[in-house]
Amino acid sequence: MTVLNSHQNILRNNKDIRTLIFVLIIGLARVLFWWYSVSLYWLVLPISVTMVFILFCIKHNHIHVPIFNSVLLNRGFDYVIDILTGNTVHDAYIIHIANHHKETNKHRDWGNTERFTNNKGALSIVRYALTTPYEFLKGKLEWMKDPENKQLGRKNFRANLILWTIYILAAIIDFKAALLFIILPNLLAQFILVSFNYFQHNGCNPSNRYNHSRNFTGTVINYLTFNNGYHIAHHHYPSAHWSQFGEIHLKLLPNIDPGLNEPHFLKYLFRILFERNTKIDVQQRADQQYVIK
């Protein structure tokens, strides 16, 4: 009992014991893959990319609800998760909270998913995932010009300095291993992360209070992403802990268009890869008829 209370004092929510276990296992695996330059590279690569994507989900939850009660521990965790994912917590905060949560796929959302709606599904996804990081960078640089945001900009600069110092050292020790086991998995996971935003918002109605996002309700995907599949619940209660999203989703369910709840992510993915997004646009125009609640 004493040990449990100790955990509860350190952590804001003891469900984040699982978060820390995931970070520990993934962190050790990434270091070992780089250090030993595992020969079965093409087997290890999809595992590495999946692990980094999981870490992005953990980072997302952490910027909304910091894991620890201690400011110092949260700052240390920031640096750990920065190094393991290849971009900073501050970058994620600016792009996700300062912009996306305010605009939620409207015109001023830097990650607006409606830019490529006249192409076939697969082409739209690829074009979106390849061009959106530039939109993020452009929007972030413009955001940091505001005098009120310069302090966070300075913090972000210091965090990036630490991050890239470690990456350069890793490259000096073994350039090929750094490229194959650090840089490439990070870039591919970033591609998947940006695509996931497309899946969660494309074809939805950004003007509707409940139908601005798409949910993925499968057990496996929500276990691995720490409930990031319950996206409408997250947008409604961004300060809620990730462990509460399933329960919140059930409460919001009567207000959500049933077509926006996808129980099987892979089935959804294969379906949209081979359909034209103009079909989605028809549904979106129909959604405009909903009365905003």
What six digits make up the tokens of 292? 């905003």
What six digits make up the tokens of 166? 């470690």
Q: Report the alpha-carbon distance of residue 272 to residue 189 in Å, rounded.
A: 20
Q: Report the alpha-carbon distance of residue 212 to residue 106 in Å, rounded.
A: 9
Q: Report the alpha-carbon distance of residue 184 to residue 191 in Å, rounded.
A: 11
Q: Which pLDDT value is given to residue 49?
A: 97
Q: With a cut of 70, which residues of the chain have pLDDT below it?
A: 1-8, 116-120, 275-293
Q: Which pLDDT value is given to residue 283?
A: 47
From 93, 95, 74, select the one nearest 19 (Cα to Cα).
74
* Cα-based distances in Å from 25 to 74, 132, 196: 19, 30, 24
Residue 262: which residues within 8 A CB-CB, separation 6 or more?
214, 215, 216, 217, 218, 268
- Say what the alpha-carbon torsion angle 255, 259, 93, 112 is, to the nearest 10 degrees: -120
What does DSSP assign to residue 291?
Answer: P
What per-residue string of b and e applies to 202-235 under the rule 16 or more CB within 10 Å gives b?
bbbbbebebbbbbbbbbeebbebbbbbbbbbbbb
> Is 7 within 8 Å of 233 (Cβ atoms)?
no
Q: Which pLDDT value is given to residue 38?
A: 80
Alpha carbon 289 to its chain's center: 30
Q: Which pLDDT value is given to residue 272?
A: 86
From 166, 170, 186, select the one nearest 178 (Cα to Cα).
170
CB 177: neighbour CB atoms within 10 A?
Answer: 17
Q: Which pLDDT value is given to residue 123?
A: 84
